[in-house]
Structure 1
């Protein structure tokens, strides 16, 4: 048993968990104790004076005079028992508090025994010697059980009266005191007792009106179990800190409120286009701290309990930046390389794959910068053919996107976002781009000793080439690059530096906008939790306006500067021969891939003529041998671009030149090209499956 007032106060455990923002402001209140309903500890100064007065007059008139036991009341009770007449009883508030503090002294169904009454008397006298009167009254009002599951004045006030304890008027105070005497009495008895309490306060109550008030009040339940602006975060962190009743998060309450309001406002504007749901997350780039987390559109949603921040959905074109970054890092393309945007029919194991652009129009030969900025689909698929679906899947996993299937399972549609990812994971992958290719975890909980004004940087590991991350960020921040699809003055253009990408999944089921500034990454999803398609929602009318509004809020008083280029980059002017759609400009290159002039393939000039690389097969290829076809008829053509090339298979010489024939055999193989001095210029890994005959390396090359 706690003996001091401070010990009792410290040991008090509300039935609700308070979720606080980084500054200590309450974001959410979540009930976590299902057995009783107990509010936070309320100081006596924050309890209605009317209630304090009514309680003392009704339960213990000489409270401020006695030393724990009211001997005058004890004498009166003894005479009443002798003459078999009814009286209030001799138990003081201090004695009742002693019974609440010590389980051994608590009243049973048959009342207290003589030993318990003696112990209660001694404990009350001990409390009076150690505690002040105001402390006794404060502790009593916080610990006394009321009706049903309600314990303490705050739980009673919020549940029955819908207000804090300091706001109770005389009628409400009288009813509360009536419930102290008989917590679970019938409605008529509570009304009668309430009227008696009011009379003790020297008022002339209308007992019929009091009865109507009591009847309506006992039927009310205003104390919601879950209340606030961060329900999904509250449930998540409450599980992580099950023993805590106050949890400090990394969220910012002003930003969270703005995010909730902005999401709901914009979704109301989209309601005529069959859009009900949305989600939003804001990450601090340096630390990975979550600054805002809106898991649903709340009452607008038919599935508001579902957390859309963690739900997996198809991300559409938002995966393209990672694909182009990988191709840049592998020196398969540059930002100025010309890619063909035209009708394509790609043979796959499942049949022909025919990618289309969003507007169903083709742009001809376009640079990588334009392909990514304007979010063209066909060039992205052609780029994935170079990189290989399996290699791209592995890159996405390094970025923290836990794809469940292999790249071969998704095939070339992976370039257009056929895999499913969560908004949180996707936003954190974009944060990796913002951090120059370094990936780290996110966090919702603020460290106990951390400053609310600063956030320590979390451990990060390289997940993507820093040079490629810079070039992709530069493209996504370029309004000219996205002009062909979005125009030159779209909602994606901000007055400060940002890099952003939109995406729409097939059948218009999901719409995304994910991007970052110098300090923050913001991810937004809109759609329907049911998976129903939206109507006529584009990349700039769905999630993008919400993304822009949140970014503007974040940078109302904070600047955002473009990242500094890492070492290993070259910035030079480029021109495009025979291509009027691409104007001469300054372009970024990974050192060793730069060139001044680019032309279309029809002019017999490769986009990367000066870069040696294996063009076929692609990295991660799986080759299946057919046992019904003679091995000599299943030779694989190896192709590469460059000068004076030498081929190595599993480290052994295979052939020379830009093309070679190889008779494959089952197993995993590494194919490399080198220059005349033996320096490895490029390599791919592949697997051969099925029956085959292993031939000597010298006899398999032609």
Structure 2
């Protein structure tokens, strides 16, 4: 019998020891001070509330804010908190034996009010690891509270409690609650405000101060706290009387509401999450953004107003940005017409890659100037010869043009010829250096159409790159907040080139005949503007800059569908004009006597648009061009009659023959006949316009045969297509896909090299 009893005792002791070990292990694992990262509050550039960035609970959908650490424990808040939550805080080590005994005695009477015994330390343990309120979890909270107190000390426990405690409406921590409810630091709270806030953590939902009933309950408990403080002689009688009176008169101020700018706030969320914006202080994580909320509201209203006019033409979405020209500070951003719009409104179109149309052309011209491949007096040809199947929306060719005219008129053929002269890879790398893309795709994939829209980019990237043109070639990152580190600006284009391109884009006379005077592209103050329209009218763009701001607008559809003849100049430019008028406060009839800074080493000269020569008063059409001394043409303009016969070569034709030329292999035993395909160029990327009439959807095929022969045979995809005189072009109906072109001679073995072409 004694042996059995001894065995039972030993077994019970082992079980007890194991339980103690497990208990000790569990509380040791829990006894760490942990807290979510402090969540910031965002303000606009004038100090108006913009938003809070919180921690989202994926399971419940709840968003929690605050968790601001306290650099110093505010004495009055500590006293008020302990008066309500843990009066003997400094007399125990995490568990209050008196409170435990009182709770056990009162809870024996299950009919009466149940009493709790949680100390500040136990509440910290529970807030760090919320669990169901069972006896086992209560025991774990008690042990964890004791170990936390022994490990970190009482002041650390108070600081952790005041950081984690819930104060209703998603707010955690007294410092955040003071800023949320009273817009002041915690150290500036009055006794009445402290009493109100200290009452809330007991039951944040029942004592929600933003609800009348909750405010009444919080005020009632706040009075109890003030009475306790007066009884403990922590506050004087006169202070208590004033606090009671202020508490009775307490009216909660309206909590600031987030503006209608969800895409903008989500961008700030990402910037903060990625570490690109960091609050200056973790104890008071306030972020002062560069956003002008008044301008933001106006740009949003204008964007929706103009988009409503264009919905009948198939437009469904809009993106817009306004950036300070000098500082790069983002003043406004509209990501879509409405985040909740059923037409893919949740996408932020300032961050979505789209076809940029012609908006990359200024950078192609800038690179040509930088590399010495282009001068302002060179003549660029806008002709079907050498166009590689590329044309313009108006299906016209304007002939020889000055670079100023070619860019201002946004002609496609001169731009692609320039791209060919510069080189695909060189241009591709330059556009990547400007931040317009981060692709590793081979440049050949985009081909010559890189200059007219095949290389995708984003509105925010265009804004940054156009900032380099607007700021004399110095590129700086977009700045979103004062707390955002701002690296030094980097020179990407020379001052001379940047100002020359700006003069091209701000010259209304040079835009003729493609864009008429006094339309959407003309302003009563200096504005440089470039529009773009992608293939099939899927995207309409306009980017403009004045002395104050850079404005960018995109119009399109979230499903990448086509719109009905929605061009950049006819739609996006109108919205840009309205935004610039708003920024400048411009009224009808206002005219500013100003212009952009001119290139410092250049002088204005009247240049004949027909041949690029200086005018001797015999040329009927001239433009003012800014020329360096070594660029001054020495030959006067011809007469008007002679001008009509002038046939200058394009810039791409002044050097050696293009490497894309494909010559046939010569037969040494016969008179040498060289066969080459001059159009289309090898590996051309051609975009087919599905809205264009079939009669115009054709690709010209042109041959270069030396010496001349009577006939050649064109082969397309290995099949004979046409027999023709080599000096006459053949037109092939464009079909989507990859195609291979070749020339052969009838009854002979000579062939040209195969020229692959890609049609989209």
Indicate whether the TM-score tops 0.5.
yes
Contact map agreement 2:206 2:217 (CA 8 A) in 1: no
Alignment partner, residue 459 of structure 1? 490
1:412-460: per-residue Cα shift (whole Å, max 9, x none)?
433422322222233322222223334x35244546497xxxx785233
- The equivalent of 1:369 in structure 2 is 404
- How many Å separate the matches in 1 of 2:628 and 2:287? 44
* Partner residue, 2:311: 271
The question of whether the paired residues in 1 share the 8 Å contact of 2:364 and 2:418 is answered with yes
Distance change in 2, residues 1:598/1:306 (3 Å): farther
Equivalenced residue count is: 568
Q: After TM superposition, give the deviation of residue 533 of structure 1 in Å.
A: 0.9
Match of 1:525 in 2: 554
- State the distance in 1 between where 2:375 and 2:277 align: 54
Aligned residue runs from structure 1 range 335-346, under 5 A: 335-342=376-383, 344-346=384-386
Deviation of 1:354 after TM superposition, in Å, equals 4.6
Whether the 8 Å CA contact 1:399–1:429 is kept in 2: the answer is yes
RMSD: 6.0
Q: TM-score, normalised by structure 2?
A: 0.58
Give the deviation of 1:276 after TM superposition: 1.5
Cα drift, residue 196 of structure 1: 11
1:552-563 to structure 2, matched below 5 A, reads: 552-556=581-585, 562-563=596-597
Distance 1:460 1:378, change over 3 A: closer
Displacement of 1:267 in angstroms is: 1.7
The equivalences for 1:612-651 within 5 A come to: 614-618=654-658, 621-624=659-662, 626=664
How far 1:565 moved relative to its partner? Answer: 1.4
What does residue 589 of structure 1 align with?
A: 627
1:263-317 CA distance string (max 9 Å, x none):
2332223222221222223444455444444333323363334332232222112
Match of 1:241 among 258, 263, 275: 275
Query: Is 1:324 the equivalent of 2:371?
Result: no
Q: Distance in 2 between matches of 1:479 and 1:377?
A: 19
Q: Distance in 1 between the 2:675 and 2:131 partners?
A: 91
Distance in 2 separating the partners of 1:397 and 1:114: 58
Q: Which residue of 2 aligns with 1:116?
A: 142
Decide whether aligned partners of structure 1 residues 117 and 487 sit closer, same or farther in structure 2, where only a CA change above 3 A counts.
same
* Secondary structure of residue in 2 paired with 1:27: strand
Distance 1:104 1:380 in 2: 65
Distance 1:559 1:536, change over 3 A: same
- Structure-1 residue corresponding to 2:450: 414
Match of 2:50 in 1: 27
1:40 pairs, out of 58, 66, 71, with 66
Q: Confirm or deny: 8 A CA contact 1:99 1:107 kept in the other structure.
A: no
Q: 1:511-532 deviations in whole A, cap 9, x for unaligned?
A: 1101222353322211112111
Decide whether the 8 Å contact of 2:124 with 2:164 is kept in 1. Answer: no
Pairwise CA distance, 1:26: 4.3
**CA distance 1:412–1:23, shift in 2 (3 Å):** same
Structure 1 residue 499: deviation in Å?
0.6
Question: Structure 2 CA distance, aligned partners of 1:521 and 1:243?
Answer: 23
Cα distance in 2, alignment partners of residues 106 and 151 from structure 1: 22
Confirm or deny that 1:400 pairs with 2:435. Answer: yes
Q: 1:534 to 1:178 in 2, by over 3 A?
A: same
Mapped partners of 2:216, 2:380: distance in 1 = 86
1:571 lines up with 2:604 in the alignment: yes
Alignment check: 8 A CA contact 2:527 2:545 kept: yes
Q: How far off its partner does 1:474 sit?
A: 0.7
Q: Secondary structure at the match of 1:523?
A: strand
Q: Distance in 2 between matches of 1:143 and 1:433?
A: 50
Kept in 2: contact 1:511–1:525 (CA 8 A)? yes
Measure the CA separation in 1 of the matches of 2:606 and 2:277.
61
Change beyond 3 A, Cα 1:574–1:239: same
Worse-matched range after superposition: 360-369 or 505-514: 360-369
Instruction: Report if aligned partners of 2:67, 2:173 keep a CA contact under 8 Å in 1.
Output: no
Q: Which residue of 1 aligns with 2:264?
A: 230
- Distance in 1, matches of 2:498 and 2:540, equals 24
CA offsets 1:209-247 (integer angstroms, 9 cap, x no match)? xxxxxxxxxxxxxx99x9846144124213312996847
TM-score scaled to structure 1, two decimals? Answer: 0.62
Of the three residues 309, 321, 327, the one matched with 2:350 is: 309
Separation in structure 2 between the aligned mates of residue 92 and residue 401 of structure 1, nearest angstrom: 59
In structure 2, distance between residues paired with 1:477 and 1:20: 35
SS at match of 2:564: coil
Moved more, 91-100 or 588-597: 91-100
Supply the distance in 2 between the matched residues of 1:201 and 1:330 (Cα, whole angstroms). 75
Which structure 2 residue ranges, 5 or more long, are not aligned? 1-32, 70-80, 182-188, 209-213, 224-256, 280-284, 587-591, 613-617, 678-705, 707-760
Contact 2:603/2:626 (CA < 8 Å) preserved in 1?
yes
Q: Residues 19 and 249 of structure 1 are in contact (CA less than 8 Å); yes or no, is this contact kept in structure 2? A: yes
Unaligned runs of 5+ in 1: 1-9, 44-54, 184-192, 203-222, 638-660, 662-702
Cross-structure match for 2:336: 296
Paired residues of 1:22 and 1:248 also in contact (CA < 8 A) = no
Cα distance in 2 for partners of 1:195, 1:622 equals: 83
Partner of 2:292: 253
